[in-house]
Amino acid sequence: MHYDDHQSKEHLLHAHGTTENKNLLEHHHTLWHEILCHLPYAIFSVALAIIVLTLLSTVACMHVAHRLFHSFHYLHILFAATGTVLMFRKYSKSITWGLLTGSIIPALFCTLSDTILPFLGGKALSLDMSFHWCFISHLDAVLPFLFMGILNGWVMSAHEASRQMFYSIGFHFSHIFISSMASILYLISFGFDEWWHHMGFVFGYIIIVVLIPCTLADIVVPIVFARIQRSSKAKQ
């Protein structure tokens, strides 16, 4: 009898823990709340990226920065595809829509945060910036990172909530840090040689550059795609 009571208590505790883990994985209901939730990650990530790049600038040349940009941009695509698929599959199990979401969203938003917005930021300072899009110039290098990100998100979505919570602890910070590195490295590599003279602008601008696209790509847009898919399925 005591054994059965003990088993019942353990079952209740496990169920309560599972519920808590699921609650921890729930997201806010508005874009504004999501942005506020991710703002500390963005601030600390950009600050750390500036520290790393300041140290690297003492020993590295522009050619090294150009290589580093591509490395971090490809890694950003990997992280973005993982997060996009993981979020989409919380709300929809459609394979076709999952593949489309995991391909389109990282391609658009990684380009936006790593290339387009840094390019426009440099232009706003009247710098002679060059535009570079890796999905055109280096598609053969981009695709393996994109495909592995989609696969990784699919595998992670099959794990239980407690394990997903464990992954998410460092996932958001790592994703935003990698995006911060890619964005600043684009500035350095394609026209913003003496960026440290404008460090205040770089710090504030890159926070916006990584915060809004990463929040949209990781959370908001995958949920919208999932709702569209479920709505279209319901009408059939």
For the cut 60, the answer to whether the pLDDT of residue 27 exceeds it is no
Q: What is the pLDDT of residue 111?
A: 95
**Per-residue pLDDT reduced to its tens digit, 134-171:** 999 999 999 999 999 999 999 998 887 766 665 666 77
Q: Which sequence spans correspond to the domains of the chain?
A: 45-235
Burial of residue 82, with CB atoms counted within 10 A of its CB: 0-12 exposed, 13-18 middle, 19 or more buried: buried
pLDDT band at 191 (very low <50, low <70, confident <90, very high): confident
For the cut 60, the answer to whether the pLDDT of residue 216 exceeds it is yes
Nearest 5°: CA angle at 60, between 56 and 63?
A: 130
Mean pLDDT is highest, among 10-14, 159-163, 221-225, for: 221-225
Report field, pTM of the whole predicted structure over 0.85: no
Q: What is the pLDDT of residue 167?
A: 64
Three-state secondary-structure class, residue 28: coil
Q: What is the pLDDT of residue 154?
A: 94
